[in-house]
Amino acid sequence: MTEVLKRVKEGIEVTGVGDEYYEFLRYPKVQMTVSIPVKMRDGKIRTFLGYRVQHNNARGPYKGGIRYYPTTDLDEVTALAMLMTYKCAVVDLPYGGAKGGVQCNPKELTRDELERITRRYTYMIADIIGPYKDIPAPDVYTDAQVMAWLMDTYSQIVGKLTPEVVTGKPVPLGGSEGREEATGLGVAIGAREAVKALNLGMKGIRVAVEGFGNVGSYAALYLHNWGAKVVAASDSKGGIYNPEGLNVPALIEHKKRTGAVLGFNGSKTISHEELLHLDVDVLIPSAIEGTINAKTVGGIRARVISEGANGPTTADADKVLREKGIFVVPDILANAGGVTVSYFEWVQNLKREKWPKEEVVSKMETKLVKAFHDVLGTSRRYEVDTRSAAFCLSVERVCESVKLLGIWP
């Protein structure tokens, strides 16, 4: 949270929107902690802690995911809610920022236990969520099924089917086509636009992908399809490298079949750190936070970094990247494809429409390309790096809305 607040303060100072807005944006509007009693499979009652934090809604209803994780706490959820405010603003979505979570370990829970936790948690926060109040979505260790349970519980409470209360649902229940690949595609678009900004061609651009999960694999697939050469990929079990390029569709199938990228035909095994230090044009960190840090940043040789993960670069490493002149597409811009398609899902649900995948992807690309160039223009206008520019732009937009609304009473 400290780093987020530092970025916000810098954005306020650079843009000159008014120092008083720092205190206004420093604190979330609502912080809710709930206890969630659940009957477990052994018949005993266990109580979990749940959270929902609503940071700011000057630009529209609150929007943000719900995560199920053992270490989730109020500070973490608050920081993530703040980030959502600025992520939505930088892509110019009519949303504010929120985040939620339950302190639990889904790997130790049965499907029935997960359903009971989800339904009880939804019941506890039902008064503060809603289609025009706060629209949750999936996050770490939650998925379309969890969102279906949330939607059904809320619908039962209000007495009518309300698919627009949540996004990231299964497609048969009102989920949007294109949602699965949205975040990875957004990361790929960020990398592509950065390559263009540096007057480089996509054909043969060398790419390394750290974290070959949903986000990383789709980012790799789209870049591969656009003519880039993906030479390295890694997951939690290790990394692989082939200087001639990896067959990305085949690698995705290999990962589905074996559960890892290791052992892919024609590749050699490398470590995570070796992947980060490869001589490539584009590096995509899409694993966990903090992998580009004081220890690893010195050896990075990429010309472009498009951040698929949230917070993959530490503050001290970020300074080194600036000094090296590496073009960074920051996380609040690069991985905003997911929330963008979530917005499209919400609009479809409100209108009771169903858009084809091609329309969703086209609308998302238009939105993200514009956001990229808005950030690039802000960077040049204020003579700051792209990460600072993303926060400057989002802070400007949020503060403008606050000013226009006024403070009442």
Q: Write the CATH number for 194.
A: 3.40.50.720
pLDDT of residue 204: 87
The span from the CA of 222 to the CA of 215, in Å, is 11
| Tokens coding 33 | 């902690």
Does 134 lie in the same domain as 231? no
Q: Are 326 and 305 in contact (CB under 8 A)?
A: yes
Q: Are 390 and 194 in contact (CB under 8 A)?
A: no
Q: Predicted confidence band at 39 (pLDDT cuts at 50, 70, 90)?
A: very high
* Three-state helix/strand/coil letters over the chain: CHHHHHHHHHHHHHHCCCCHHHHHHHCCCEEEEEEEEEECCCCCEEEEEEEEEEEECCCCCEEEEEEEECCCCHHHHHHHHHHHHHHHHHCCCCCEEEEEEEECCHHHCCHHHHHHHHHHHHHHHHHHCECCCEEEEECCCCCHHHHHHHHHHHHHHHCCCCHHHCCCCCHHHCCCCCHHHHHHHHHHHHHHHHHHHCCCCCCCCEEEEECCCHHHHHHHHHHHHCCCEEEEEEECCEEEECCCCCCHHHHHHHHHHHCCCCCCCCCEEECHHHHHCCCCCEEEECCCCCCECCCCHHHCCCCEEECCCCCCECHHHHHHHHHHCCEEECHHHHCCHHHHHHHHHHHHHHHCCCCCHHHHHHHHHHHHHHHHHHHHHHHHHHCCCHHHHHHHHHHHHHHHHHHHHCCCC
Quick check: is 11 in a domain?
no
Report the first-to-last Cα separation within the chain, whole angstroms: 29
pLDDT cut 90: percent of the chain above it = 81
pLDDT of residue 287: 86
- Which residues lie closer than 8 Å to 249 by C-beta, 6 or more apart? 221, 224
Q: Where residue 71 sits, what CATH number does that domain have?
A: 3.40.50.10860
Does 195 lie in the same domain as 72? no
Q: Is 234 buried (19+), middle (13-18) or exposed (0-12) by CB count in 10 A? A: buried
Quick check: is 373 in a domain?
no
Does 185 lie in the same domain as 146? no
What does pLDDT average to over the chain? 93
pLDDT of residue 288: 78
For residue 1, the tally of other CB atoms under 10 A from its CB is 15
Q: Where in the sequence is the domain holding 229, given as residue range(s)?
A: 180-325
Asked if pLDDT for residue 346 goes beyond 90, the answer is yes
Where in the sequence numbering do the catalytic residues fall? 99
Q: Average pLDDT in the 374-394 region?
A: 94
Does 299 lie in the same domain as 239? yes
| Global confidence as pTM | 0.91
> For the chain, how many structural domains are there in total?
2
pLDDT tens digits along 288-333: 778 888 888 889 999 999 999 888 888 889 989 999 999 999 999 9
Asked if pLDDT for residue 1 goes beyond 80, the answer is no
Does 296 lie in the same domain as 200? yes
Quick check: is 304 in a domain?
yes
